[in-house]
Chain A
Amino acid sequence: MKLSKIFKNVFVVLIASLVLSACATKKEIATDIKGSMQGDVYTGTDTVKYLAEGVPDRVFFATNESILTTASRETLRAQAAWLRKNSGINVVLEGHADERGTREYNLALGERRANAAKDYLMTYGISSDRITVLSYGKERPVDSGSNPLSWSKNRRSVTVKAN
């Protein structure tokens, strides 16, 4: 009896929280740092566009890093599969850095990140002739915020159709 009452209370709380989260806008969820960053790599979907269904256009990086995470590799494998299916499409890989670095170093870092993505696409059969790398350093942030979550969204390599 007592136990079932507890269960009932828990159930009520659960319902309440479900209703609450349903009320919350997508943006509010995205600003929850714990939910959308792993280490300091962005894992959310805010700002992400899709090249095709199930093919996200971008991968994210840790501060000062150009190492591809497990999630990034999955994204790039989906991109490679899509590129193999659409052999007439060429892409530009746009590498970016967050605002917390010197301009010139960030240009180099963006180039290194885009190249990490390029190398991975190449190992999945995409010819380097179809890929152009373009670094923007810290010049084109996608999120203008000055906080760790905004920075994590800006540390990215975005695959853009070139034709």
Chain B
Amino acid sequence: MIKKIITLFLILIPLNSYALIEVDITRGNLDPLPLAVSPLSIDEKSRKSFEKALQKKNIGEEISSIVENNLNTSGLFNPISKEAFLQAPDIANLKPRFEDWSLIKAQALITGKVNYVDNKLRVEFRLWDVLAAKEMMALAFTTVPSNWRRVGHIISDKVYERLTGEKGYFDTRIIYVAEEGPKTQRIKKLAIMDQDGFNNKFLTLGNELVLTPRFNPASQMVTYLSYFKNLPRVYLLDIETGTQEVVGDFPGMTFAPRFSPDGKKIIMSFAKDGKSDIYTMDLENRIVEKITNHPSIDTSPSYSPDGKYITFNSDRSGYQQIYIMKSDGSNVKRISFGNGLYGTPVWSPRGDLIAFTKLHKGKFYIGVMRTDGKGERLLTENYYQEAPSWSPNGRVLIFYRETKTNDKGEGFSAKLWSIDLTGYNERQIKTPTDASDPSWSSLLSN
């Protein structure tokens, strides 16, 4: 396979927006598109107002560096160092001197302007095709100043979408489990942060063990497992209000929760008498339905995006393998047949793939397969890694990795990582503490 960014040029039709540069997202990142993110220009009066309001010296530069960082981590773009820029931000935003930008090898250029208007943040930005010497997009937003990081993410999403033809994933958040303390007595808290690691916030205090948080489709609610009062149960948390309630209060352990794609149900496992089966609970009328009924362990359920199917893992064959079934529990079919054990299946937001964890010969892999089990592709191998979660556009997987300890049992750590569906662009996501069980929100602005 050739891993190359394809750039297409100028189709001469007199429309406001037509395809100029195009980034082929389905290929790897060996040749990312060079682009320049000019600092958003700002007049002195606005700059001072934002400095007072946000304690940021130059909010224009801050926002553009968010955009630059996002595009860089996507692996599809290669932002050029600002030191190479020849044209001042304010003039570039009016009319770029394309020769100057093409001289430093930029194929695309982002410019913009920030204003302080009636206590609000007004941002306009433009995307230019340098080689075709054309404006590709121009947009403006007005919002409260405290939203400045989100503005950077929204601009990144717009640029990504314009250049790749697919929705972005930058204006999103990650919910995860923050970990501290020795391996034998980990303290775990729910934590939430922006996709780029900023605005980290702890949502629980660490008094009880919490695991596997997952967003609802609106990204306002989280379902997770808590050991509150030593009773492992599925809980529901409203992120804005902080309200928590138990939803899986059956006589036994409820775990492995996820929302249905319409957000109306929670699907989870219920373990009792050595068996684990899959159940759903309707959040409105609290009606509980038993979906699987088998003496084996059935767990880690995940709905297809249309809600018609469920994938899960079961050891009914003797070993942990991946199955799919209709959402009423009928037509159970095993789909994983490769060597090793398969777990944590998650249906991609596009519906065509299932991401999974595979354990084979002492190694853990994150991989994807088609929903019929064919076309298995292993993206990354490690000592221990599991629990992939999809970016809302289905192009990136986030998961966690644990390290092997040394002979004395020291050196344990758990971190979040991401990798492109292509198998390239593997990156660690920085978190203030150790971290595991990440879940990616949907796109917050739509």
Whether A associates with B in a native complex is: yes
Chain A interfacial positions (CB closer than 8 Å to B): 64, 66, 99-105, 107-109, 111-112, 115-116, 119, 134-135, 139-146, 150
Binds A, one of B41-49, B183-191, B419-427: B183-191
If the complex has contacts A102-B300, A107-B253, are A146 and B405 also in contact, measured as CB distance less than 8 A? yes
Confirm or deny: B409 has a beta carbon within 8 angstroms of a beta carbon on chain A.
Answer: yes
Enumerate B196-235 residues with CB–CB distance to A below 8 Å: 209, 211-212, 225, 230, 232
Check B230–A134 contact: CB distance below 8 A: yes
| Given A99-B402, A135-B253, A142-B184, A108-B209 contact (CB < 8 Å) | no
In the complex the two chains form, is A104's CB within 8 Å of B232's CB? no
**Docked-complex contact A100 and B183, CB < 8 angstroms:** no
| A144 and B274 within 8 A (CB) | no
Instruction: Say how far B113's CB is from chain A's closest CB, in angstroms.
Output: 48
Out of B211, B253, B384, which one reaches A100, CB within 8 Å?
A: B384
Tier of interface size on chain B: 35 or more
Min CB gap B279→A, angstroms:
13
Closest B residue to A111 by beta carbon equals B271
Is the pair A105, B409 in contact by a Cβ cutoff of 8 Å?
A: no
Bound-state Cα–Cα, A135 to B297, Å:
14
Contacts of A135 in B (CB 8 A): 232, 253, 271
A150, B184: Cα distance in complex, Å: 12
The 5 closest A-B pairs by CB, nearest first: A115-B274, A144-B409, A102-B343, A144-B183, A108-B276
22 CB contacts below 8 A, A to B, read: A100-B359, A100-B362, A101-B343, A101-B359, A102-B300, A102-B344, A102-B357, A104-B212, A105-B315, A105-B320, A107-B211, A108-B269, A112-B297, A115-B273, A115-B274, A134-B230, A135-B253, A139-B211, A140-B184, A140-B185, A144-B182, A144-B183
Residue of B nearest to A64 (CB): B319
Which of A109, A134, A142, A150 has a CB less than 8 Å from the CB of B297?
A109
Q: Which residue of B lies closest to A66 (CB)?
A: B274
Please tell me if the beta carbons of B405 and A111 are within 8 angstroms of each other in the complex.
Answer: no
Whether B333 is near chain A, meaning CB under 8 Å from some CB there, is no
Q: Are B320 and A103 in contact (CB under 8 A)?
A: no
Chain A, Cβ-Cβ closest to B412: A144
- For the complex formed, measure the closest distance between the CB of B360 and the CB atoms of chain A, giving whole angstroms: 12
Could you tell me which residues of chain B, from 286 to 303, have a CB within 8 Å of some CB in chain A? Answer: 297, 299-300
